[in-house]
């Protein structure tokens, strides 16, 4: 019995990791498109989560994101990543303009006696994801207009013990925005049986 | 190791260093011997090899003096087996040093001299303990306050390379670190990792792309040909000038509303700002129908299928029903809280789309007129079309969604009635243009707004998308020809045109560019199916003969006599 439960837990962790990784892919693409980090010509429409999303078709960027997401996937499986941050940085001044923060928490496995672990239907998860992506799209209404060339950077907050492939990932600056000049907006969250993702955007606002 | 035979001195520099510090002061003679050495070799190993066998030089001394030329990081890491790559070096020189980072694992320098302060040991943190393990034979703190060679030499190198050692945990209390961590937002037991590569630059030039995106709505849309005013297919000739132009002062320029309709009795209904008028095609007579209350205007207008009644929707949310023949108001139906931009009839059921995204069915015969509410849009419902048989209702909204409702009123459960049969999210802009095909009942055409400018064709039975057609500008209306396998569409900027395409080949039959001086917003098909009326914000109402009736029906002749009208004729 314990054996079976363990394997099932394992499988759902894998599935959930897959879902979360996929979500990051589309979220990152959506942000890069919406915030104009890459020219809109580089994006094409795909159907996903019951809506059309824009995904880059720039091969170099695609490969870059794939390599990052592959590592994120590994970290998710070991549960060693706690936060992913997509920072949008002004190209000239190197100041951080926006930080898109995705908090990842492993939801506690239910205790053994409370057997009825009702698993969340995929459609419900997809709906939650759809709402987050829609929210990302709608943030253009309040985020300050970015009228300078920008670059992005993806940071992963991992635990001290995380396996880090040498040469690929290096300790880095948090690219934080000064607290006095930062506004934060909490976005929706979604959760699978295993993971819970909370999204937040912080942006520079010198009002 | 091959140099054990040279000397009996310890192999590891670490060991040697500590010993020399404690017990082997540098003698002048040895220093002289040192100076005579060939110092062009950069690595300590090579230096040792270069020393003659008979020379009893302390290798440590050689080591330490040589090391002044190379960075201390490099030397020590070579000893501890940690690979120093270009990345680490770059990082070190940029001054990014963090607890838990690779620097802290380098097992270097910071603690090989213990100041004789009593609190130094008390506040040792994890990393300092680790270092103690790495140097197990390190002697206890030298009691004398003598200047340590290593510290002084390191100081020199630090200045040279810009290397700044991390604040050693020995001189900062845990509380200080906690406060520091809190202030900088760097969690203590976490690592912040970034991918080693910078993201690739956009492959296409950003400036050019911006420029292109600015001019794109004008010139680079697909389906835009040269700048000739009109094109028609070689085999077919379609008159590209309007047959008749009527003045329509006060025509509103609003994509989301529907202000033009043509009844089966050949009566054209048009709304100009706050008033609604009808124009009787057979006699060319205009009559004023109704007027909106103060501060409101007409937002939609639709004849019933038998042409006897006219429904008028207002920005206030109320809907009026008028008898066309008698020109009298039959009733007012209130209830909507926002403007009513779209109306569609099926027999006695009048469906109305509201700004708030709801669609109501009104049974116009009964006092309690609201019989059903359909909730499936999050944006204004600007397109609404019943299929002729009344089995399906298509709706398009400002949320870019096309819904097809199995909206038969009556013998179905509330659940099925309230949910859309199909929800299509392919459009990327508001959907106003909707048309059911008269000769293929399952075929629905829908056209999107400026950001989309695409006409999609749907099979309402299977839900499949059959065809898509990119057009040069926002699609404001779509109409199928009842006689030919063709459809027409009206467009906004940049062409302000009318296009006729064949279905299903999507071959372009005709295009009338600049049909109006402003975007063509509303269109209505004549009862005969030959003429199309269009209206635009240039305050003109134009009639176009797009399709000839099939030859056998030519006897009937269009019922639209183009005689005088009391509206000004140009």
Closest CA to B221 of B538, B431, B397, B448: B448
Q: Which two tokens stand for residue B545?
A: 């003969």
Q: What are the Cα distances from residue B556, in Å, to B280, B481, B561?
A: 19, 17, 13
B403 CA: distance to closest CA in chain A (Å): 14
Please give the DSSP secondary-structure letter assigned to residue B438: S
CB contacts < 8 Å between A and B, how many? 114
Interface residue A52 vs chain B (CB under 8 A):
yes
Looking at this predicted complex, what is its ipTM? Answer: 0.78
Chain A residues with beta carbon closer than 8 angstroms to that of B91: 170-171
| Mutation target vs A (from B88, B130, B166, B191; most A CBs, 10 A cutoff) | B191
CA A66 to mean position of chain CA atoms: 13
Span A78-105, pLDDT tens digits: 888 999 999 999 988 888 999 999 999 9
- Helix H, strand E, coil C: the string for B351-419 is EEECCCCEEEEEECCCCCCEEEEEECCCCCEEEEEECCCCCCEEEEECCCCEEEECCCCCCCCHHHHHC
d(CA B536, CA B519): 6
Residue B33: predicted pLDDT? 43
Q: Which residues contact B460 (CB under 8 A, 6 or more apart)?
A: B387, B392, B394, B404, B421, B422, B442, B443, B444
Beta bridge partners of B369: none
Residue A50: predicted pLDDT? 85
Please give the DSSP secondary-structure letter assigned to residue A111: P
A206 pLDDT band, cuts 50/70/90, is confident
A140 pLDDT band, cuts 50/70/90, is confident
In this model, does residue A153 exceed pLDDT 80? yes
Residue B174: predicted pLDDT? 64
Residue A179: predicted pLDDT? 82
User: In chain B, what are the domain boundaries?
Assistant: 244-545
Q: Which domains does chain A have, with CATH numbers?
A: 2-204 (3.30.900.10)
Residue B566: predicted pLDDT? 46
Chain B residues with beta carbon closer than 8 angstroms to that of A41: 204, 209, 212-213
> How is domain B244-545 classified at the architecture level of CATH?
7 Propeller (2.130)
Span B31-40, pLDDT tens digits: 444 444 444 4
Tell me the three state secondary structure of residue B546. Answer: coil
Closest residue in A to B207 (Cα–Cα): A39
3-state helix, strand, coil in chain B (%, to 5): 20, 30, 50
Chain A residues with beta carbon closer than 8 angstroms to that of B96: 171-173
Q: Write out the DSSP string of A1-50.
A: -HHHHHHHHHHHHHHHHHHHHHHHHHHHHHHHHHTTSS-GGGEEEEEETT
Three-point CA angle B317, B323, B325, nearest 5°? 145
Residue B215: predicted pLDDT? 60
Instruction: Name which of A58, A155, A162 is nearest B202 (Cβ-Cβ).
Output: A58
Chain A residues with beta carbon closer than 8 angstroms to that of B195: 64, 67-68, 71, 153-154, 168-169
Residue B175: predicted pLDDT? 72
Residue A5: predicted pLDDT? 47
Residue B90: predicted pLDDT? 53
Closest CA to B63 of B153, B168, B165: B153
CA B225 to mean position of chain CA atoms: 29
CA B290 to mean position of chain CA atoms: 43
**Residue B506: burial class (beta carbons within 10 Å; 0-12, 13-18, 19+):** middle
Residue B227: predicted pLDDT? 41
Q: Which two tokens stand for residue B225?
A: 């040909």
User: For the whole model, what pTM was predicted?
Assistant: 0.48
B97 CA: distance to closest CA in chain A (Å): 9
Span A102-116, pLDDT tens digits: 999 988 665 554 445
Q: Which two tokens stand for residue B422?
A: 């199909």
Instruction: Name which of A42, A67, A160 is nearest B202 (Cβ-Cβ).
Output: A42
A205 pLDDT band, cuts 50/70/90, is confident
Q: Which two tokens stand for residue B376?
A: 């499936």
Span B363-411, pLDDT tens digits: 999 999 988 888 889 999 999 999 988 889 999 999 999 999 986 655 4
Three-point CA angle B187, B188, B190, nearest 5°? 70
Taking CB atoms and an 8 Å limit, are A60 and B197 in contact across chains? no
Q: Which of A55-64, A143-152, B96-105 is predicted least confidently? A: B96-105
Taking CB atoms and an 8 Å limit, are B193 and A64 in contact across chains? no
Mean pLDDT by 10 residues, chain B (570 residues): 45 43 41 44 43 48 43 40 53 49 48 47 42 43 50 43 44 66 66 83 66 56 46 71 90 92 93 92 90 92 93 94 92 93 92 92 90 89 92 92 78 59 91 93 92 92 90 92 91 89 89 90 91 92 86 51 47
């Amino acid at each position: 019995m314990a054996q079976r439960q363990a394997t099932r837990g394992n499988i759902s962790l894998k599935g959930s990791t897959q879902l979360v990784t996929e979500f990051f892919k589309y979220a990152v693409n959506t942000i890069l498109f919406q915030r104009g980090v890459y020219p809109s010509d580089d994006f094409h429409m795909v159907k996903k989560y019951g809506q059309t999303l824009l995904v880059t078709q720039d091969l170099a960027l695609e490969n870059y994101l794939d390599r990052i997401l592959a590592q994120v996937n590994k970290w998710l499986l070991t549960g060693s990543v706690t936060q992913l941050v997509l920072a949008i940085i002004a190209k000239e001044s190197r100041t951080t303009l926006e930080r898109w923060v995705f908090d990842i928490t492993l939801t506690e496995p239910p205790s053994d006696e409370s057997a009825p672990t009702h698993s969340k239907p995929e459609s419900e998860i997809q709906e939650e994801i759809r709402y987050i992506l829609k929210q990302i799209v709608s943030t253009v209404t309040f985020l300050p207009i970015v009228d300078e060339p920008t670059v992005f950077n993806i940071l992963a907050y991992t635990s001290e013990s995380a396996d880090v492939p040498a040469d690929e990932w290096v300790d880095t600056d948090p690219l934080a925005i000064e607290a006095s000049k930062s506004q934060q907006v909490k976005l929706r969250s979604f959760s699978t049986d295993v993971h819970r993702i909370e999204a937040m955007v912080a942006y520079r606002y010198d009002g | 190791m091959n140099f054990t035979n040279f000397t009996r001195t310890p192999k590891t520099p670490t060991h040697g260093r500590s010993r020399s510090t404690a017990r082997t002061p540098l003698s002048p003679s040895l220093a002289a011997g040192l100076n005579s050495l060939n110092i062009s070799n950069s690595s300590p190993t090579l230096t040792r090899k270069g020393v003659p066998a008979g020379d009893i030089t302390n290798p440590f001394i050689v080591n330490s003096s040589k090391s002044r030329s190379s960075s201390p990081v490099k030397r020590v890491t070579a000893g501890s087996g940690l690979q120093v790559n270009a990345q680490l070096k770059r990082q070190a020189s940029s001054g990014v040093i963090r607890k838990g980072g690779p620097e802290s694992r380098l097992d270097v320098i910071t603690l090989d001299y213990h100041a004789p302060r009593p609190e130094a040991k008390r506040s040792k943190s994890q990393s300092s303990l680790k270092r103690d393990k790495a140097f197990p034979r390190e002697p206890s703190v030298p009691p004398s306050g003598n200047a340590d060679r290593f510290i002084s030499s390191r100081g020199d190198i630090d200045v040279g390379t810009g290397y700044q050692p991390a604040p050693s945990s020995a001189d900062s209390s845990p509380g200080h670190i906690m406060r520091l961590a809190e202030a900088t937002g760097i969690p203590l037991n976490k690592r912040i990792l970034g991918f080693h590569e910078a993201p690739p630059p956009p492959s296409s030039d950003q400036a050019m792309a911006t420029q292109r995106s600015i001019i794109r709505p004008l010139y680079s849309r697909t389906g835009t040909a040269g700048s000739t005013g009109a094109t028609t297919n070689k085999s077919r000739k379609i008159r590209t000038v309007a047959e008749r132009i009527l003045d329509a002062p006060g025509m509103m320029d609003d994509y989301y509303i529907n202000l033009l309709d043509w009844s089966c009795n050949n009566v054209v209904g048009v709304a100009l700002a706050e008033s609604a008028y009808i124009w009787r095609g057979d006699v060319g007579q205009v009559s004023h129908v109704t007027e909106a209350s103060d501060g409101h205007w007409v937002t939609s207008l639709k004849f019933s299928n038998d042409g006897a009644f006219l429904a008028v929707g207002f920005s206030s949310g109320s809907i009026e029903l008028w008898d066309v023949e008698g020109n009298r108001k039959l009733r007012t139906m209130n209830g909507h809280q926002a403007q009513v931009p779209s109306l569609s009839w099926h027999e006695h059921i009048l469906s109305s789309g509201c700004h708030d995204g709801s669609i109501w069915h009104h049974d116009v015969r009964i006092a309690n007129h609201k019989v059903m509410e359909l909730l499936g849009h999050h944006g204004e419902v600007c397109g609404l079309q019943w299929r002729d048989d009344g089995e399906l209702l298509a709706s398009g909204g400002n949320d870019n969604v096309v819904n097809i409702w199995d909206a038969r009123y009556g013998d179905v459960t509330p659940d099925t009635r309230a949910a859309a049969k199909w929800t299509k999210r392919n459009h990327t802009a508001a959907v106003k243009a909707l048309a059911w095909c008269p000769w293929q009942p399952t075929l629905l055409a829908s056209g999107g707004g400026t950001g989309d400018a695409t006409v999609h064709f749907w099979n309402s039975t299977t839900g499949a998308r059959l065809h898509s057609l990119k057009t040069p500008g926002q699609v404001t209306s779509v109409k199928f020809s009842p006689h030919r396998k063709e459809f027409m569409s009206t467009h906004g900027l940049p062409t302000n045109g009318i296009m006729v395409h064949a279905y299903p080949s999507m071959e372009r039959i005709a295009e009338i560019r600049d049909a109006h001086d402003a975007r063509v917003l509303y269109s209505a098909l004549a009862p005969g199916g030959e003429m199309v009326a269009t209206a635009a914000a240039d305050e003109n109402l134009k009639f176009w003969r797009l399709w000839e009736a099939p030859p056998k029906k030519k006897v009937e002749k269009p019922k639209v006599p183009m005689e005088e009208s009391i509206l000004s004729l140009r």
